[in-house]
Chain A
Amino acid sequence: MKTRRLLIAALLLVLVLMAGGWPVANRWRPHTFHGMVIQSPQPAPDFTLTTHQGQRLSLSDLRGRLVVLYFGYTFCPDVCPTTLSEWARAMRLLGPKADRVQVIMITVDPARDTAEKLGAYLAHFDPRFIGLVGTEDEIARIATLYGIYYQKHEDGGENYLVDHTATQTAIDQEGYIKLVFPFGTKAEDIADDLAYMLR
C-alpha cells in the first residue's frame, strides 16, 4: 500500500515537471532561423531616398527598428505581390511587435513607379509599408550596395518587365544585416524569425 502511494506521488511529480519543464526547455533551445543568417562585420550601408509621401528618409533614421528591404516594382504581377502578401501576413502574425518593424520596398522601376503609385500599391498590402523612390542612378547604386541585381527588358514596349533579385533583407535594430529571406518564404517562418529578433 505504501509503495503504491509513493509510486503515484512519483508519477505525479514527473508529470508536473514535464508540464512545467517543457516551456522552459523550449525557451532555452536556440532559435533556428528560417532566413539565411548573415554575419555582417559592418553596419548595413546607409542611403537616403524619397518616401512615397515625399519625405527624404535615410536608413539610419530607422535605427532601433527592425528594417526589411525589398526591391521590386508595381508592374510585377507574380513575384512582388506574392512576397508583399506574405510580409503583410507576417506583420499581422506579429501583432503589436510589428510596430517595431519597418518594411520598405525600393522600386527597381523608377521610370514607371511614381511615389504616388507606389504608395497606393503598398497601402493595399499593409499601410505601414513604406515605398522609396529615387533617380535611376541612386537606385542602381543602392541596389549594388545590397547585392541586388535588376535588369529592365526593353523588348516589352511600354509593358516591359524587370528581372530582379527577389530576396528580402532584414536589418536588425542596431543597423546590421541579419537575415536574407529567399522568394517563397512563408509568413509563418518570417514572423517566427522576426519575433525572435524582437524578443
Chain B
Amino acid sequence: MHTKKFLILPVLLIALLLAACQGSAAGGKTITVEGAWGRPSPKVAEAGAFYMVIRNTGKEADRLVSAESPACGMTELHESVMNAQGVMEMRPVAGGIEVPAGGQVELKVGGLHVMCMQKKAEFQPGARIPLTLHFEKAGDVALEIEIRQQ
C-alpha cells in the first residue's frame, strides 16, 4: 500500500512538469516551419535555394529578417520574379519577408527562397542541412533542410 503511494506522487509530479513545459513552449512559439527542403546539388554549384512554409500563429505580424547555415558561407533572402518580357529576375528581398498574423508565407520554386551562397559541400539526397531563421519578434528558429529532388 505504502509503495503504491510513493509511486503515484513522483509520477504525478513528472506528468505535471511535462505538461508545464509543453504549455510554455506552445505559448512562446508563434512561428512554425513546415516542409523545408532544398534540391540536391553538386559541389561546383556555388549557390542553392531552400524552400519552406512559414506559419505565424501569433496575433502580430512577424518578419523573417535573415538566415544562416553552417553549410553556407553567406545566406540571403531572395525572390525570383518573371518580368513582363518573360525574363527571370532574382533579387535580394529588401527588409525581409513578412509573415502575417495568423497567416503563412510560402518560400517556393520560382518565388521567394533562402539563397545559400558559397556552398561548402555537395548537397546529397537525404542530407539534412541545419538552418537558423532570424525573426524580428520570434527570434531564432532552428530547423533542418531536407535535401530531396522535389
Q: Which residues of A contact B (CB under 8 A)?
A: 74-79, 81-82, 85, 117, 120-121, 123-124, 149-151, 159, 161, 163-167, 182-184
- CB distance A163 to B90 under 8 Å? yes
Interface status of B57 (Cβ within 8 A of chain A) = no
Most chain A CB atoms below 10 A, which of B46, B49, B78: B46
Interface of A is mostly: mixed
Docked-complex contact A79 and B40, CB < 8 angstroms? no
Residue of A81, A117, A163 near B88 (CB, 8 A) is A163
B3 located at the interface, meaning its Cβ lies under 8 Å from any Cβ of chain A in the complex:
no
Contact partner of A164 (CB less than 8 A), chosen from B39, B46, B88, is B88
| CB-based nearest A residue for B79 | A78
Q: Nearest 5 pairs between A and B by C-beta?
A: A77-B47, A124-B42, A166-B88, A77-B49, A163-B89
Interface residue stretch chosen among B7-15, B95-103, B113-121: B113-121
Q: Which residues of A contact B1 (CB under 8 A)?
A: none
Interface pair B39/A117, CB less than 8 Å apart: no
Which residues 58-104 in B have Cβ within 8 Å of A in the complex? 74, 78, 80, 82-83, 85-91
| Chain A residues within an 8 Å CB radius of B49 | 77-78, 81
Complex: chain A residue closest to B85, CB-CB: A149
Complex contact A78–B86 (CB within 8 A): no
Complex A-B: 28 CB contacts under 8 Å: A75-B45, A77-B47, A77-B48, A77-B78, A78-B115, A81-B49, A82-B109, A85-B39, A85-B150, A120-B44, A121-B45, A123-B42, A124-B41, A149-B87, A150-B87, A151-B87, A159-B47, A163-B87, A163-B88, A163-B90, A164-B87, A165-B85, A165-B87, A165-B88, A166-B82, A166-B88, A183-B88, A184-B110
Alpha-carbon distance between A117 and B39 when the two chains are bound, in angstroms: 18
Q: Is there a chain A Cβ closer than 8 Å to B32's Cβ?
A: no
Interface residues of B (CB under 8 A from A): 39-49, 74, 78, 80, 82-83, 85-91, 109-110, 113, 115-118, 149-150
Alpha-carbon separation in the docked complex, A150 to B43 (Å)? 25
On whether the beta carbons of A183 and B82 are closer than 8 Å, the reply is yes
- Docked Cα-Cα span, A183 to B109, in Å, equals 11
**A82 pairs with B39, CB closer than 8 A:** yes
Q: Is the CB of A77 within 8 A of B42?
A: no
Report the minimal beta-carbon distance from A109 to chain B, rounded to whole angstroms. Answer: 11
A contact residues around B47 at 8 Å (CB): 75-77, 159
A79 with B110: CB separation less than 8 A? yes
**Shortest distance in angstroms between B25's beta carbon and chain A's nearest beta carbon?**
33
Note all chain B residues with C-beta closer than 8 A to A183: 82, 88, 110
Q: How far is the CA of A121 from the CA of B43 in the complex (A)?
A: 8
**Cβ–Cβ < 8 Å partners of A165 in chain B:** 85-88
Give me 10 other A-B pairs in contact (C-beta within 8 A), A120-B43, A161-B91 excluded.
A76-B90, A78-B110, A81-B49, A82-B109, A117-B44, A120-B44, A123-B42, A150-B87, A163-B87, A184-B110
Q: How far is the CA of A79 from the CA of B87 in the complex (A)?
A: 11
Residue numbers in A under 8 Å from B86 (CB-CB): 165-167, 182
Is the CB–CB distance between A159 and B109 below 8 Å?
Answer: no
A150 / chain B contacts, CB cutoff of 8 Å: 87
